[in-house]
């Protein structure tokens, strides 16, 4: 897998502001140096909803994206506002297929309000694009990084998302170029 000839597709599954999506795409483009397109998807999400857990199944959504966008040949990341889960975990902020073509990221757990803190749109935006870059990193074959400032550092806590930067460390940059 080489970055050469690759392109990225950001798919909006919620009501995201056009300006917000374009800004996100610009940051992602700068991060990977690859063309980034935006697509709007109107898929009915109720079929991915688990009433017992009151969350949306990230694995099923990834499968949908893989199938629906298979012809684009892009690294496709679905962007959501709803709370996501995978069967084995109580929640996920994002999820991607390792060295695969699809992933998902949700704003839900990135909002300050969830942690009893005042709303902060700028911070939310920063957290969101960091997680998108992180999941895209997995699709390009990057594992989690031990460097807390690297975007590939795993973020279990919201503080860890804030602690890391929106860029790859030297080691991960090297790996990415190799990939």
What are the residue numbers of the active site?
Answer: 135
Residue 91 binds another protein, judged by CB under 8 A: yes
Choose between 138 and 164: whose C-beta lies nearer to another protein: 138
CA end-to-end span of the chain: 5
Tell me which residue has tokens 């999400």: 45
Residue 171 binds another protein, judged by CB under 8 A: no
Q: What would the x/- binding string for another protein be over residues 51 to 70, using CB under 8 A?
A: --x-----x-----------
DSSP 76: E
Rounded least distance, CB 90 to another protein, Å: 5
Asked if 32 and 3 count as a contact pair (C-beta separation under 8 A), the reply is yes
Rounded least distance, CB 97 to another protein, Å: 7
Binder among 7, 29, 81, 144 for another protein (CB under 8 A):
144
Return the residues of window 96-115 that contact another protein according to CB under 8 A.
Answer: 97-98
Rounded least distance, CB 87 to another protein, Å: 4
Q: Is 75 helix (H, G, I), strand (E, B) or coil?
A: strand
Taking 3-state DSSP, the helix, strand and coil percentages for the chain, each rounded to the nearest 5, stand at 40, 20, 40
**What separation in angstroms does the CA of 67 have from each of 30, 51, 73, 78, 101?**
27, 24, 11, 13, 10
> Rule CB under 8 A: which residues touch another protein?
53, 59, 85-92, 95, 97-98, 138, 143-144, 146, 154, 156-157
């Amino acid at each position: 897998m080489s970055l050469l000839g690759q392109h990225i597709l950001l798919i909006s599954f919620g009501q995201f502001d056009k300006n917000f999506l374009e800004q996100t795409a610009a940051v992602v483009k700068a991060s990977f140096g690859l063309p980034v397109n935006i697509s709007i998807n109107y898929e009915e999400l109720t079929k991915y909803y688990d009433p017992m857990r009151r969350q949306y199944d990230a694995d099923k959504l990834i499968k949908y994206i893989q199938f629906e966008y298979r012809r684009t040949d892009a690294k496709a990341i679905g962007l959501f506002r709803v709370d996501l889960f995978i069967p084995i975990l109580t929640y996920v902020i994002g999820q991607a297929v390792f060295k695969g073509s699809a992933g998902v990221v949700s704003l839900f757990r990135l909002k300050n309000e969830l942690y009893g803190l005042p709303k902060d749109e700028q911070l939310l935006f920063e957290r969101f694009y960091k997680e998108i870059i992180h999941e895209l990193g997995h699709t390009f074959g990057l594992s989690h990084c031990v460097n807390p400032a690297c975007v590939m550092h795993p973020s279990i806590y919201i503080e860890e998302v804030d602690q890391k930067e929106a860029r790859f460390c030297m080691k991960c940059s090297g790996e990415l170029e190799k990939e």
